[in-house]
Amino acid sequence: MKTTVRPSAARPDQGSRRVVPRADRTLLFGVVGPADLVPRVAAVVDATPALQAVRLPYRQEQETARILREHADEVDAWLFTGVVPHAIADAEHAVGAPAGHVSYSGLTLLAALFRLGREGRDLTRISIDTLDPLEVRETLAEAGLAEDAARTMVYAPEVRSRDVVAFHRQARQDEGATVAVTCLRSAYDVLRKEMPVVRLAPSPRDIRDAVDELALQTRNVHHSDAQVALGFVELDEADPALERDLGELGGAVVRIDAERYLLVTTRGPLERVTDDFRAAPFLGRLAERHDHVHVGLGIGRSAGEAAAHASRALARARAQGDVAAVLAAPHDADIILAVGEPAEAAGPTDLGRLAQRLGMSRTTLQSLRQFLEGVEEGRVTATELALAFEIQERSARRLLKRLERAGAAVPVGTLNEGQMGRPPVVYHVELG
């Protein structure tokens, strides 16, 4: 499978502080995984200019979330030695910075099969966990083995080491599997006492791909965080406590006149406080003291561009009612932020409210819902969406990002197609 680096779908803990890297210093990558793989991955990080590894090994996968929380302030990004600790950290909402993991390519499996063949192992039936089934079949074909020679187990966040061990035992019992191939150190330690087992380790190329892509992602986040964000706040009367209520945005509040204020900050803090532009926690507090609260937020590459977007957002906020906050950014539709803290529930199912928030027509969302009914598990990529609706792929990507911010779409992985470059992100879209 191809190396994948993806943003976490989980929200960071409220108590964690994401370290924003400066362009003029070395990025610190927290390398998390079993003790025997961390040095291998960390060595590649340290050999890369402007990168430095912070070695954070664990004894058991279940220690992953604790390690991340204890060292959250020490690193700029998280690099996991495999998909398992990454998935565990995501599931426990422990990832608060750019994150990626090293994936094992077909070449890694091919090398393992070659070694087993030289040792005289019977490869007519094999059990393999974690790896992508399609790539497993392709690799078996390259090795001259039958494509159905392997029984595979796809890793999911809820899977634990005991489940992997049970899978290999069952394959041996039911199908006569002669060799187990595992990506988990903990499963290997148990299985090696019972059956022939090989533990895969990432190749230097796999590690290099992961390091390079995570470095790019982290620097992109840095660039995004540095974008200017301005906000115009209109109240029905002066409010000396406004700066306190907006303090979580990490910027400055300047009074323009008796009822208007200017907020100056950057995109990074604004994005985090609003939970990826979904809700405005400060709006509810202001509404407790004022009958009319209108907030227009704008993001841009310059103060002038951000101010123009903020002015447009303020005009739309006035049209929404007595209390409203709207965000406007380049190349994106205006987003109406929900009042209060972000909802923990799944994506919204009221198409009318969702359409209003996204600045889209209800008809468009209804068409999207009909399209999703014919898609397996509601999973779709920007490419598939673009083809279905005859729009440009970049427009489809923006649509999926807007749905994600509204809580109606969640990135669940990447599509391995063997193409060059970054693999397409697969989203699970739920419109009720």
Find the radius of gyration of the CA atoms of the chain.
24
Q: How far apart are CA 230 and CA 252, in angstroms?
A: 10
Are residues 40 and 53 in contact, defined by beta-carbon separation less than 8 angstroms?
no
Domain ranges of the chain: 27-102+204-223, 106-199, 227-339, 351-429
Reported pTM? 0.51
pLDDT the model gives residue 423:
67
pLDDT the model gives residue 22:
41
Please determine, for residue 94, whether its predicted confidence score (pLDDT) is greater than 80.
Answer: yes
Instruction: Output the average pLDDT for the chain.
Output: 81
CATH 3.40.1190.20 fits 227-339, yes or no: no
The full DSSP string for 39-101 is HHHHHHHHTSTTEEEEEEEESSGGGHHHHHHHTGGG-SEEEESSHHHHHHHHHTT---S-EEE
pLDDT the model gives residue 425:
79
CATH of 106-199 given 3.40.605.10, 3.40.640.10, 3.40.50.2300, 3.40.50.150? 3.40.50.2300
Q: Which residue has the tokens 């499978």?
A: 1
Would you tell me how many other CB atoms lie within 10 Å of the CB of residue 411? 16
Please determine, for residue 130, whether its predicted confidence score (pLDDT) is greater than 60.
Answer: yes
> Helix or strand or coil: residue 198?
strand
Cβ neighbors of 358 (< 8 A, separation 6 or more) are 333, 335, 365, 402, 403, 406
Please choose, from the candidates 93, 58, 59, 54, the residue with its C-alpha nearest in 3D space to the C-alpha of residue 77: 54
- The CATH fold assigned to 27-102+204-223 is Rossmann fold (3.40.50)
In 286-405, where do the E strands start and end? 293-300, 323-328, 335-339, 379-380
Mean pLDDT over 308-326 rounds to 91
Are residues 251 and 310 in contact, defined by beta-carbon separation less than 8 angstroms?
no
Residue 352's pLDDT band (boundaries 50, 70, 90)? Answer: low
- pLDDT cut 70: percent of the chain above it: 83
Residue 346's pLDDT band (boundaries 50, 70, 90)? Answer: very low
Are residues 251 and 265 in contact, defined by beta-carbon separation less than 8 angstroms?
yes
Q: How far apart are CA 294 and CA 337, in angstroms?
A: 11
Is 27-102+204-223's fold the same as 106-199's?
A: yes
CA 122 to chain centre: 40
Mean pLDDT over 154-161 rounds to 78
Are residues 254 and 261 in contact, defined by beta-carbon separation less than 8 angstroms?
yes
Top-confidence range, 107-111, 181-185, 245-249: 181-185
- pLDDT cut 90: percent of the chain above it: 23
Amino acid letter at 22?
R
Please choose, from the candidates 58, 60, 89, 32, the residue with its C-alpha nearest in 3D space to the C-alpha of residue 187: 60
DSSP element (H, E) containing 365: helix 362-373
CATH 3.90.78.10 fits 351-429, yes or no: no
Mean pLDDT over 309-317 rounds to 92
Distances (CA, A) of 130 to 31, 118, 121, 336, 412: 20, 24, 21, 40, 16
Lowest mean pLDDT among 48-62, 138-152, 408-422: 408-422
Are residues 406 and 396 in contact, defined by beta-carbon separation less than 8 angstroms?
no
